[in-house]
């Protein structure tokens, strides 16, 4: 499922990122890569707040749709 639809408070694993290469590298620098564990914290006006490696990150909805989690 897309990260934008993930249940809040549950630990999930990133299984696929369907963004372009530049965006994928940027996400990797933030710790968002295939195999990483993330927790979807909450949603603010469509944007998703996630926790990865003890840090909170905000992703806009279109980017969160490109990150597949299981």
* pTM exceeding the 0.85 threshold for the entire prediction: yes
DSSP string, 39-56: EEEEEETTEEEEEETTEE
pLDDT at position 46 is: 85
- The CATH number that domain 3-69 falls under is 2.30.30.90
Kind of pairing, strands 55-59 and 11-17? unpaired
pLDDT tens for 18-38 read 999 999 999 999 999 999 999
pLDDT at position 23 is: 96
Kind of pairing, strands 47-52 and 55-59? antiparallel
Domain spans of the chain, in order of start: 3-69
């Amino acid at each position: 499922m897309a990260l934008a639809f993930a249940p809040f408070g549950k630990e999930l694993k990133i299984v696929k990122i369907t963004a372009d290469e530049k965006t994928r590298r940027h996400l990797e620098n933030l710790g968002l890569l295939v195999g990483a564990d993330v927790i979807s914290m909450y949603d603010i006006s469509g944007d998703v707040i996630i926790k990865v490696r003890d840090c909170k990150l905000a992703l806009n909805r279109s980017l969160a749709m490109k990150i597949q989690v299981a």
